[in-house]
Amino acid sequence: MTASGLVFFQSSVFAGREKKNRAERNIMGRAQQERNTDPAEIRKKTDEKYMRQALRQAKKAYDLEETPIGCVIVRDGKVIGRGYNRRNTDKDPLAHAEITAIKKASRKTGDWRLEECTLYVTLEPCQMCAGAIVQARVARVVVGCMNPKAGCAGSILNLLDMKEFNHQVQLETGVLEEECSMLMKTFFKELRMKQKMRKKSLAE
Ligand SMILES: [Zn+2]
Distance of CA 126 from the midpoint of ligand 1 (Å):
4
Show which residues are catalytic.
98
Per-residue model confidence (pLDDT) at position 1: 46
Residue 68 DSSP SS3: coil
Per-residue model confidence (pLDDT) at position 204: 78
Distance of CA 136 from the midpoint of ligand 1 (Å):
14
The tens digit of pLDDT for each residue in 177-197 reads 999 999 999 999 999 999 999
Per-residue confidence at 163, pLDDT binned at 50, 70, 90?
Answer: very high
Per-residue confidence at 3, pLDDT binned at 50, 70, 90?
Answer: low
Q: Is the pLDDT of residue 85 over 90?
A: yes
More confident site: 149 or 15: 149
Long-range CB contact pairs, 188-195, < 8 A, 24+ = 191/65
More confident site: 91 or 3: 91
Distance of CA 106 from the midpoint of ligand 1 (Å):
17
The tens digit of pLDDT for each residue in 5-55 reads 555 445 555 555 665 566 555 555 555 555 668 999 999 999 999 999 999
Ligand 1 being an ion, which residues bring their Cβ within 5 A of it? 96, 126, 128-129
C-beta atoms surrounding 149 within 10 Å: 9
Distance of CA 200 from the midpoint of ligand 1 (Å):
33
Residue 56 DSSP SS3: helix
Q: What is the DSSP letter of 124?
A: -
Q: Is the pLDDT of residue 125 over 50?
A: yes
Q: Is the pLDDT of residue 175 over 60?
A: yes
15 Cβ neighbours under 8 A, 6+ residues apart: none
Per-residue model confidence (pLDDT) at position 20: 57
Cβ pair 97, 70 in contact under 8 A: yes
Q: Is the pLDDT of residue 131 over 90?
A: yes
C-beta atoms surrounding 61 within 10 Å: 25
Edge-to-edge strands of the sheet including 78-84?
78-84, 70-75, 118-123, 140-145, 170-172
Distance of CA 150 from the midpoint of ligand 1 (Å):
9
Distance of CA 119 from the midpoint of ligand 1 (Å):
13
Per-residue model confidence (pLDDT) at position 80: 98
More confident site: 204 or 90: 90
Per-residue model confidence (pLDDT) at position 103: 98
More confident site: 10 or 108: 108
Indicate the average pLDDT of the chain.
89
Per-residue confidence at 202, pLDDT binned at 50, 70, 90?
Answer: confident
